[in-house]
A = this chain, B = another copy of it.
Amino acid sequence: MAVDEDVEPRRIVVVGTGLIGTSIALAMRERGAEVLLTDRDAAALRLAVELGAGTALPDGASTEPADLAVLAVPPAAVAVTLLDAQKRRLATAYTDVASVKALPLAQATHLGCDLSTYVAGHPLAGSERSGPSAARADLFLGRPWALCATPAASPEAVAAVRALATACGAMPVEVDADEHDRAVALVSHGPHVVSAAVAARLTGADDVALGLSGQGVRDVTRIAASDPRLWIGILSANSQPVADVLEAVATDLAVAASLLRDGSEEAATHVADLLLRGNAGRSRIPGKHGGDQPSYATVQVVIPDRPGELAMIFQAAGVAGVNIEEVTIEHSPGRPLGVLELAVEPEAAVLLADELRARGWSVPSPSPSVPPSQAPGGP
């Protein structure tokens, strides 16, 4: 789909120096582009400039239009910001980065914005941190970047926005705005609210209960730590698709609760169906490198919690010629010990385990993922 002749924008304006806007600015500065920055929050603008993201857009003075203006503002502000930017002739093409696409497009149409120079966009990258201080030039590397061009958009505007995404290291994905909004409700906005609802249950829990927390509840609630002010804007702007997802999840949970209260064998079978559907859905999430979810073998090592230990382990892996695909450190609450889990290609697991054992670490035999049908025993 990408056109070879897409001309990379050399001069861009970034309106809004939060996490995403500043990250785009940093990425384009690394490509040698000239970047002009503006934000209604003077402190955020100053910080972005200090971080080397660009120079402040001169106030009022009319300048030559840039190749592209990136509107990195909350969803509800996209259309008015676009109208204002077009009136000021900030650029010859415009895009935004909001997590929601249909509403800003409808509002832009309603306000009479020029849709020939505007291509809505959404880089699928973020963090539970926010603001310019969390920005990084590599935030978009290898990530999808949705582009929702309307039929009114000029080929030049589409090419400029596609070139921006590519220049930031992302993969442009052309998609209809409504389809985009339903997709992100399913894989991002809905799960976000669900994570918050699980975490909200913990507010009234006593310390004994919280002391029994394991890795599961930590993973399920990680994104519940995100900034509510950013998220309420996203959810409000994508309200109907998100409501569809939340209602479906709420129904599944209410039915599961009622089946559990029922207590019959048959009721249990229906709860097990939900768990099986969960297995099936989880396995559909694409894995690393855009391929299918890979199955790695896991090598576990007990490590003291002190500097240098990880270096020696990774050095040993390097010596063995083994590539580490995933790393997790499982800390032991209350003890200065951790369990390091190294995911590697199945055929490399024994090699790595042997190398680590030879160097004195205690390493149990590598455990390949056991399919449920082969798994005996139980908790």
Contacts and interface: CB of A to CB of B under 8 A. Distances in A.
B377 A129 contact: no
The bracket for how many chain A residues form the interface is 35 or more
B218 A275 contact: no
Contact of A285 (B75, B217, B260): B217
A241 B183 CA distance: 33
Contacts of A224: 275, 278-279, 281-282
Q: How many copies does the complex hold?
A: 2
Contact of A235 (B179, B271, B288): B271
A167 interface: no
Given A131-B376, A183-B205, A285 B213 contact: yes
Contacts of A370: 129-131, 133-134
Given A254-B246, A311-B314, A311-B315, A282 B199 contact: yes
A376 B39 contact: yes
Most-contacted residue by chain B among A198, A236, A328, A369 (CB, 10 A): A198
Interface in A107-149: 124-126, 129-138, 141-144, 146
A212 B147 CA distance: 12
Most-contacted residue by chain B among A99, A143, A322 (CB, 10 A): A143
B332 A143 contact: yes
Contact of A218 (B21, B205, B285): B285
Given A131-B370, A193-B274, A198-B249, A286 B333 contact: yes
**When A and B form their complex, which 8 residue pairs have the shortest distance between CB atoms, in order from nearest?**
A18-B377, A142-B332, A196-B278, A183-B209, A202-B281, A44-B376, A228-B275, A308-B318
Given A223-B216, A224-B278, A367 B133 contact: yes
Contacts of A274: 193, 196-197, 200
A195 B282 CA distance: 9
A87 interface: no
A110 to B, nearest CB: 16
A104 interface: no
Interface in A9-25: 16-22
Contact of A282 (B74, B202, B307): B202
A7 interface: no
